[in-house]
Structure 1
């Protein structure tokens, strides 16, 4: 009997996950509680994917339901052999208001996932969607091996999960990658997948749609096209697979990679690129610093470049043209 092997993608309807799934070359199971995502993403994912995509509405904080889910997909006909863990809450400002909620949905949920994975030795690879928020306020060109001092509950939960994963990899021998995303922007070039969150560019689009002035805040950030981030996830999976094939008995690895451009831009500068790419004008007014924001956060992406063979392929100009195309598709 042929056993169908699936890649499990938690939080699979979210921004980065939904753009990553069409690049996978295997059957996929998406689980998502749809609390900060949209089912409309599922249609776009399936239209861009040639392999089977299964969706289950599931919350990782419900350990009983998670156990039942895994048992159904390890039934002698199917199995889950790798996990891409994108699920979690991600708003810096919201985490300041509800830190306990963030701990539950980011840390406890991940521990639940690991407790269940432990029952299935076939699962040897896990990719974790971490965040630049683990660094807190760090000097420009921050490297992965710096001491992380997060300044928000969101960043604290991401760093806590990283520490849990490091210990889990050491004790269980599983290969784990921790991808520290900086500021992804843009959409799928087909216009079939977009960004529904409260990130910068959806707010820009909303201000244009409503004809309102947008308040922009201080700070320099590191922006990277979401499709480049998605490709990095695929390259990471390949890196771990090749390493394991070379030495099946190798000790498990747990390693972090920065995913950013290494170039800092202010919000005003990034909006200017968007305006020039699409011949538009966004009315803005400068505001003060928001609670939880750091002044500057720019990465050194050389580890990903040297070890994963990852480079940027999508310019900000092209990313913003794709974004405007997607936005207009939503209006039609």
Structure 2
């Protein structure tokens, strides 16, 4: 039995769906069901006896203690987090509560549970914390990629709270001996991503005939990681990673934001053409967000060298799969675009016109 937090969200849901296609080991799926949690994503698991969904908040210590006592997982994969930089700028408090206090609460529950296991159970148990490359700050065009030893320099409330959670996880290993693992990943994309992030937002706006808002000059660089590749990396780290170690997970796909949008538009021009026009015509430039990091880039050689992992998808193959999925699943996209989401888009982009 494994326990996964945040598993009605984008990465968490993909991880659970992939896990239950590969293994017959049960999953306890814990999610608070905030705006970004969507049970429709997990609809195919509704009658699967290996999937147990629990609506709970990781900040609720009593609930976490009860779950661990009842299900006795051999591992916790901690994906629950507030993740959107723009939302953290408008409302940082939720990020502090979920990412810092929530991680602390879960670590305390895990430490208490782990301390009562027998020697074999203690040796087997793992707490795998999924984090981000944004904790390392921003790179110039000529800087080397982030490695596992790059000093932390978070620049947004989101990345600062994720950095805080990383430090707590590290401290619980060095102080208490809790067998933790940490992964720091680059920008994920793929099926079931909430349409506040760049790629699903651009797809939704393009199909809806709306402007495609590009921040600043569009030259900010990100490394892009297909979510299925990220899930396979998490599985490898869980199975064979060394407790106390951190592993960078990247796609080896550095792309400028404008390049990503252009590629998306070109794919949509092929797959869902508009009469006499290109989706590129909908691109608009909007005011940049405060403190927008210029470049992120991940050096994932440690993960390949020590565990043999490397991504299966190129950016081109992964993006083609992603665009086709959104075209085939517009009902899912329409459902998640709730009134709450629409209000958020108005709040964020109205100030950048």
What TM-score, normalized to structure 1?
0.85
- Partners in 1 of 2:16 and 2:38 — Cα distance? 15
Aligned twin of 2:346: none
8 Å contact 1:141–1:262 — kept in the other structure? Answer: no
CA RMSD of aligned residues (A): 2.0
Q: Deviations over 1:182-202 (max 9, x none)?
A: 111122xxxxxx222411111
Give how far 1:153 is off.
1.3
The number of aligned residues is 303
Aligned twin of 1:313: 312
1:110 to 103, 113, 127: 103
8 Å contact 1:20–1:230 — kept in the other structure? Answer: yes
More moved, 172-181 vs 159-168: 172-181
Aligned twin of 1:298: 297
State the structure with bigger RCO (CA 8 A, min sep 6), 1 or 2: 1
Q: Deviations over 1:235-293 (max 9, x none)?
A: 111213xx6xxxxxxxxx32222222234211121123333445154321233421132
Give how far 1:52 is off.
0.4
Unaligned runs of 5+ in 2: 115-120, 332-353
2:84 to 76, 84, 91: 91
8 Å contact 1:216–1:268 — kept in the other structure? Answer: yes
Give how far 1:159 is off.
1.0
Q: Deviations over 1:165-221 (max 9, x none)?
A: 11111233232221111111122xxxxxx2224111111122122201211123111
What TM-score, normalized to structure 2?
0.80
* Pair 1:144-2:139 in alignment: no
- Partners in 2 of 1:7 and 1:199 — Cα distance? 28
Residues 15-164 of structure 1: matches in 2 within 5 Å? 15-24=10-19, 25=23, 26-35=25-34, 36-44=36-44, 46=45, 52-73=50-71, 79-121=72-114, 122=121, 124-138=125-139, 139-164=143-168
8 Å contact 1:9–1:28 — kept in the other structure? Answer: yes
* Pair 1:275-2:265 in alignment: yes
More moved, 26-35 vs 314-323: 314-323
Aligned twin of 2:350: none
Give how far 1:133 is off.
1.3
- Partners in 1 of 2:42 and 2:30 — Cα distance? 11
- Partners in 1 of 2:64 and 2:48 — Cα distance? 27
| CA separation of 1:50 and 1:72: change in aligned 2, threshold 3 A | closer
Unaligned runs of 5+ in 1: 1-5, 74-78, 188-193, 244-252
Runs of 4+ aligned structure 1 residues displaced above 4 Å come to: none
Aligned twin of 1:202: 200
- Partners in 1 of 2:42 and 2:49 — Cα distance? 14
